[in-house]
Amino acid sequence: MIDPAPLRVLDLTDELAWQGARMLVGLGADVLRVDRAAGLDPAARAHWHAGKRRVRLSETDSGRDDDHRSALDALAAEADVVLESGRFRALRGVLADGSSRWPHAVHVVVTPFGLTGPRREWLADDLVLAGAGGMAWLCGRPDGAPKAPPREQAVQTGGMHAAIAALLGVLARDRTGSGQLIDISACEAVAATLETGAIGWIHAGRYPVRTGGVYGHVAHRTFPAADGFVAGGYSGSDRMWTDLLSWLAEEGEAADLPDARYRDPVLRWEARVHVDEVIARFTAKRAAADLAAQGRARALPWAEVASCADLTTNPQLRDRRFFVTVTGDEQDAEDVGFAWEAPGLPRPVTLRALREVSRAAAWSSPGPRGRRTRLGKAGDPRPLAGVRVLDLTWVLAGPYATKMLAEHGADVIKIESRHRQDPTRFAPSMRLRPGAGPDDSGYFLNFNRGKRSVALNLRTGDGKRLLRELVPRCDVVIENFSPGVLARWGMDYDSLRAVNPDVVLVSMAGVGQAGPWRDAVTFADTLGAMSGLTHETAEPGGAPQGLAFGLGDMIAGNAAALAVLDMLARGSGGHVDLSQLEAMAAAMGPALLESVRPAGEPDPRTAEHPSRCANAVPHGVYRAAGTDRWIAISVLDDRAWRALAELIGATAELRDADQAERRVREDEIDALIAAWTADREPAALAGRLQAAGIPAALVATGQDLVEHDEQLAARGFYPVLEHPIAGPVRHEGVVARLTATPGALTGPAPLLGEHTAAVLGELLGLSEQDLAALAAAGVTE
């Protein structure tokens, strides 16, 4: 049975890891927050802290004297997990020697750049992290400044990795009986979430650039509609093109696209500008909702660009009871929910607003969960050693999840075939490496390292039979087929449970296994459109740009990894119905709650200054010396402003301006900063600003990250693996740094079917003769 005792989590986070604490609330954890909880508007407070209790250390609540330390130690002694974040010098639980003050606990620490390395004391908010980690470089118009993805995705990514790290630590404690310190660099979390942003440089010596939302390796983008915008395209299987062409022809809008030359995907890609123009003329004459509905009816990946306010009218989200109700403030409010329905927090979900409790009644649970003894694998201390994962996923979201499981010890068996070609192996536009073939595709290498490959042709009866026979030998099955596919193969959850009662099945369909849109075909851009993310990329008065990298896939991948860890930590099988749409909508922060705020609150952003925000002035990306070189600067308080004002030569009057006055004079301030940064080298300038206590960073390209980032180099973030065809190749590294049971990249991505014989022999006892017969029948190819 599922253990009813929730984890006790002591929440010492700032905005760097609020998302991590919120995700643990979503698992049903007993989360106790220690802070003053001041300075947050009601929407942010409700979103980030609903479902928690709050305790004061004292009436002053400074948390700095001996009494406060003793009170904090007492609370930590009663916790399973301590989740802490902030700037390096302000950490309360890390001792001078780098160890944890609370060694009994799983102590996860999130800092901007990590606990070690030359930049460990650097300061950063979301904008600076998005710049330093490479996200900002990928976002924005080609003719404009880079900008961070909307809704603080950089710090949300760091927070999500903190939640993943917490459960990895819990699983390690179940094996060893000991807690440990876990180091999360928010910058590394961002740098691991760029899709091809860095690996393009590793494999091809080039990196993607800002395109205003036009994908560089798949033919997808946003298009104008008569009353808004839609997202869609024509990459993927041939049917995506032929069915779209039929739709255009039926409407008399196909122009010259039926010509034979466009049947060739290579020529079609080369003519993409023209093809997109024809499609744009078609979409511009039709309502966005009608285009999306027709797309779903035709099983084509098209979606209306919805605002976050529109989420509440989405019938798919409504049917699946995605939203949570926050009670206890002046009135109940509806907020975005969580990526899946966790056993510890069944839907529909009602969360009470953050409320203060006494220290004597701090926790809602009767006691810490404590250790559940779990056997591992001899000789491998990693927390998932001994766990076997049957990986039926492809492209990005699923492989991103399973690569993390492999990093921490899981034996990931990837099922693939030449008869169902993973585009990241077989599509020339996704191979990255010049002259690469299916076995040394750069994209595939990065996201499938450390896995074993079994070639099974699932179009054959024997292929499906062998797949079913592997299930009793596995702990986890993870898949992203369309809903209903596994059931047709006799592999729905009830069937899997019949042969393996403890199996965990994680399904990662685009919009979930049930609901009126369950059969919708989705790509990253269409999920971004449905979730509100694409709409948020619009600058005031401008069109939504979307994102040109698969952020949504990686958000869903992180959620899937967290779901697997949650189920393993509970010690019971189950079915996780994870909707990638819900994972993305859950990452919209307080946008839904803010959408019902009183009209008239000003938006500080402008088309010229898209990075302005309400809580920091100035706050922006400024041109620096060099071609398309930029620096992100964020002033979070008056002290930092005075330091910056002196550097840029501001008048004495302007140096003394508080935040309210700086907001009024923001155009003047931005002009001064831009003139000052324009002829200065951005990396050196960022170091100078940081030395003065001002959060700043170079807006990094993939080349900057891989070749020139001293912090990433010092922490070994791009380790080299030897591949039998590609040779020595750098890979994006492990984000969650467990100090006692560290993860590792243990081997390169497999060749197609490289481990077929070994796995089928080891797990199913097939002989060489059996394998030869299967190969002759086309089953293992």
Q: Catalytic residue positions?
A: 553
Could you give the angle at the alpha carbon of 529 between the alpha carbons of 195 and 201, nearest 5°? 15
Strands of 496-594, DSSP E:
504-507, 574-577
Instruction: Round to whole Å and give the CA distance between 497 and 574.
Output: 8
Residue 116: closest CA among 563, 682, 558, 713: 713
Picking from 706, 681, 563, the residue whose alpha carbon sits closest to that of residue 631 is: 681
Contacts for 274 with CB less than 8 Å, ≥ 6 apart: none
Q: How many CB atoms lie within 10 A of CB 41?
A: 14
Q: Strand pairing partners for 575? A: 505
Q: Whole-angstrom Cα distance, residue 569 to residue 153?
A: 27
Exposed, middle or buried: residue 178 (CB in 10 Å: 0-12, 13-18, 19+)? middle
Whether 781 and 454 have beta carbons less than 8 Å apart is answered as: no
CA 746/CA 738 separation, integer angstroms: 16
Burial class (CB in 10 A: 0-12, 13-18, 19+), 434: exposed
- Beta strand 476-479 with 452-455 is unpaired
Overall residue count recorded for the chain in this entry: 781
CA–CA dist 53, 185 (Å, integer): 27
Mark out the alpha helices in 410-545 (DSSP H runs): 423-426, 442-447, 461-470, 485-488, 493-499, 524-531, 533-536
Angle at 370 between CA 368 and CA 375, to 5 degrees: 160
Alpha-carbon span 150 to 129, nearest angstrom: 13
First to last CA, the chain: 40
* Cβ atoms 47, 590 nearer than 8 A: yes
DSSP 393: -
